[in-house]
Structure 1
Amino acid sequence: MKTAAVNVAKELQVPTSQIHIWIDILSIPQKHAGMKAMAVDSLYAFAQCADIMVIIVPDCWHEDTGVKADALSYSERVWTRVEQLAHCSQHGVASMFIQTAETFRQLPDGWMETVCTVFDGTMTCCRKKHPNGCRCDKQTLVIPLLALYHNIYKQNLSGYPSAAAKFIWDLIQKKGKDRMFPPNIQIARDTGITEVHELFGDTINRIEKIVVGENTDFVWSPTVSFIKPVHSISCEL
């Protein structure tokens, strides 16, 4: 991490004391539920405060799975994807770097186009099939990503978006709103059942109506529940 910070300072030709660097390796704690919730809710604040993001991807092996953890596996994780999307929406891809064991460089071309579809990524809770009926961590990301979309949509509707906002808006148009902000998700359980839960529902449309000034109350539908599934599918293990 220290090497990454020093490399950023060299790249920008400014001392580390004069820049705020988001070192993306320990941003969201996993063991304490309260701390994790606070970190998720603070993603936009992290993005707003940081001038630069550095993605740390040392070659190592996952303690639980034994699978090699490298730049590719890093780019596939939901947590890291949402952190990068949040930062990119504020400061643009030019402010993002990647530090491996051997090299330091700006993000490769096409990196953000891959990671911007946050919910296509992997999560530990999904790999373990949500034991004991636990909530899927993907559901905790709805509120911060709604805030992100509100900001991006408002800027682009004004006709004067920042370069960062325009970049993210173009990604949304290319990938599709339903892929970046899925109305529903499937949650596989360790019991062999797959449940369909509402995720964003129609809230993206509601946000757009609010921004354009229509009199639409932005409230969650009383039918929406992060606990009760929309319906279930029996699956053979």
Structure 2
Amino acid sequence: MHETLEAVQMSSRKVVDGDLKVYLALLSLLLVMVLGKFSQILAAVIFSALCIYADRKAYIRIIRVPAFFLLGALVVILLTIDGKALVSFWIFRITDESIETAFSVLLRSTASLSVLSFLIMTTSIPEFITALSKLRIPKFIVEMLMLIYRTIQILFEEISKLDTAASSRLGYLGFRNMIRTASLLAFSAFMKSLRRSEIMEEALESRCYSGCYPLLQSRSRGAGISASIITAIVLAGWLG
């Protein structure tokens, strides 16, 4: 059975919960961007462990695609940056500068990917928006984020239904049928999404919606662990 990202976010085990996990991830992401390699290595290890604890299988699925693109980027860096040649073959060469740059990119990217994976696996969009709203972000931005999130949900729901209907009628059998079905599906999804959006707007107005979308409130826990993680990353950066 296919497991959605929202299902992972709801079922994953959380050492840090509530708004605190959002602030922990954002602050850690900032630290790995500005501090040295030791802090990046430590952050990668810590947040990878948290992700594995949360949901090991989901973590592997999430990092698989970005890891593939990261590998391609590292190959390009190794072969394109000038410097003292260490290895040469045909028109390509690997230099001391390219190895140093690739290693730096690998550490920073791995640490950032681990932190973002932790945030993605443990935090739903409503929780993330609620945490942002407490950082004095303008209310209209928060409202726009919530409405966009809900609209995207509607769009994906309609596309899923239409795609299932098209597949059951062999709509993708053959190249010409696939093109025709895809165009009809896109048009139908657009029209149905507009109608569903109108229904959602009417539902909000019937519930006295005044431009302030209700936000999910949850209790934060794991302050001690969060403080320990941030302290460890800062100390590692200072020592490095």
Q: TM-score, normalised by structure 2?
A: 0.24
- Which structure has the larger Rg over C-alpha atoms? 2
Q: TM-score, normalised by structure 1?
A: 0.24
More RCO (CA 8 Å, sep 6+): 2
Higher percent of residues as helix? 2
